Structure 1
Amino acid sequence: MFSGAQVSLYPMSDDFVGIILGAIGSLDPWRDRLRIETDSLSTLMVGPPDVLFPAMRDLFCAAARSGVHTTMHATVSRGCPGEPDDPICTPVAGPSRDLSLAERVEACRAVVATAPVLEQEISVQFSLYPLGVGHHMDEIYGCIEFLKTSGTFLRSKNFCTALRGDAGPVFETLSQAFTGFGATAGHLAMDVTVSANSPSDR
């Protein structure tokens, strides 16, 4: 299994270079469990989903704590048939596929309830794409049911779902959506946009 994320960070500040470089430093504690490569467009993080999402959370929160309006865009993927298996990417966390869809919804909800509170309010919109699954809509509807009872659900939007709340539970909601639904060995992709300190919220 190959899993990873391409992440781009956008602080709305004249000091964007300092904020971005400082935030990238927050990935240091994760470097023994992730392969991290940064270029002029994005940072690639390759590793297991249960590590990817906390690392993305810490990256974003480090920038958002500057107090400036900050956004982050991430494309997250697991099981891409065009990528080779990578030992660093295992194991994949998430509910056992021996569980029914309803049981997976409950298991994901229980994990979000234990997420740490980081005292950083964020907004997210994301879309989940389970690829190559015969009954992919069942998995999507199951994920939507989970999201609506996760405690972080804000509303459904065209082509995506909006979440809002503390960064800890919100990023855990994303992680559970990514690992809890879709085929175990199938290709699954997620498109995520995160925002904090937006003037629209004032």
Structure 2
Amino acid sequence: MFSGAQISLYPMADDFVGVIMSALSALAPYRERLRIETDDVSTLLVGPPEVLFPAMRDLFSAAAGTGVHCVLSAAISRGCPGEPDDAICQSTHFEGPSAPLAERHADALAAVRGAPVLDVFSVAQFSLYVMGSGSHMDEIYGCIDFLKQSGTFEKSKHFATKLSGDTGVLFATLEQAFCRFGPPEGHVTIDLTASANSPSAR
């Protein structure tokens, strides 16, 4: 299976280049387990979700930790039929048949309860898309039920769900939404915008 994310980081600061370049050091522990390609629009991270989401979390937290208003935009995908399988993406998340929805819901909540707390507050809005599944709405509603119990749910919006909380817990919630809902071999995508230190929150 192929899994990865196209990400762009936007620090709202005069020294935006310095903030980005400094934050990139947070990817150092993950570089051997990810394929990373950067161009003038975005950076592609390819790898298993259990590496991908912590890498995005740490990159975003490093930028947000400077105190400037930062936004991370990401298109995250797994199982796209147009992408070739990649050995670097092998993940324990998708081994074996899919468990019943209630069991996956419970496992997702347990994983979020064990998430690291980073003491960086952020908000996010995201949309989950389960492709090519006749029961896709059951999966999406199951995910929404999980989100409402995750401790990060803030509100439903048109076309998206808003989350807020510690960045460590928030990205763990996103990882569980991405991995636990939709068939293991299926095409699932997330459209994500995360923000920290926004002046509008004040």
Tell whether the structures are fold-level matches, with TM greater than 0.5. yes
Which residue does 2:56 correspond to in 1? 56
Q: In structure 2, do the counterparts of structure 1 residues 95 and 178 end up closer, same or farther at CA, with 3 Å as the change threshold?
A: farther
Q: In structure 2, do the counterparts of structure 1 residues 121 and 94 end up closer, same or farther at CA, with 3 Å as the change threshold?
A: farther
Q: What is the alpha-carbon distance in structure 2 between the residues aligned to residue 114 and residue 96 of structure 1?
A: 23
Q: CA deviation at 1:25?
A: 1.7
1:33 aligned onto 2:33: yes
Q: What is the alpha-carbon distance in structure 2 between the residues aligned to residue 180 and residue 96 of structure 1?
A: 13
Question: C-alpha deviations, 1:146-185, integer Å up to 9, x for none?
Answer: 0000011111111000000000110000000000001111
Q: RMSD across aligned C-alpha pairs, in angstroms? A: 1.2
1:111 aligned onto 2:111: yes
Q: CA deviation at 1:39?
A: 1.5
Q: CA deviation at 1:87?
A: 0.3
Q: Which amino acid aligns with 2:16?
A: F
Which residue does 2:184 correspond to in 1? 184
Q: What is the alpha-carbon distance in structure 1 between the residues aligned to residue 187 and residue 75 of structure 2?
A: 13
**What SS does the corresponding residue of 2:32 show, helix, strand or coil?**
coil
Which residue does 2:123 correspond to in 1? 123
Identify, as 1 or 2, the structure richer in helix. Answer: 2
**Which runs of no fewer than 5 residues in structure 2 stay unpaired?**
none
Q: Which amino acid aligns with 2:11?
A: P
Q: How many residues align?
A: 202
Equivalent pair of 2:72/2:194 in contact (CA under 8 Å): yes
Q: What is the alpha-carbon distance in structure 2 between the residues aligned to residue 186 and residue 104 of structure 1?
A: 15
Equivalent pair of 2:152/2:163 in contact (CA under 8 Å): yes
Equivalent pair of 1:49/1:92 in contact (CA under 8 Å): no
1:37-48 alignment, distance < 5 Å: 37-48=37-48
Equivalent pair of 1:95/1:104 in contact (CA under 8 Å): no
Q: What is the alpha-carbon distance in structure 1 between the residues aligned to residue 50 and residue 2 of structure 2?
A: 13
Identity %: 61
- TM-score of the superposed pair, with normalisation by structure 1: 0.97
- TM-score of the superposed pair, with normalisation by structure 2: 0.97
Equivalent pair of 2:98/2:183 in contact (CA under 8 Å): no
Q: Which amino acid aligns with 2:27?
A: L
Which residue does 2:201 correspond to in 1? 201
Which residue does 2:137 correspond to in 1? 137
1:75-86 alignment, distance < 5 Å: 75-86=75-86
Q: What is the alpha-carbon distance in structure 2 between the residues aligned to residue 113 and residue 97 of structure 1?
A: 24
Q: What is the alpha-carbon distance in structure 1 between the residues aligned to residue 107 and residue 33 of structure 2?
A: 25
Equivalent pair of 2:98/2:184 in contact (CA under 8 Å): no
Equivalent pair of 1:94/1:176 in contact (CA under 8 Å): no
1:166 aligned onto 2:171: no
Q: What is the alpha-carbon distance in structure 1 between the residues aligned to residue 97 and residue 141 of structure 2?
A: 16
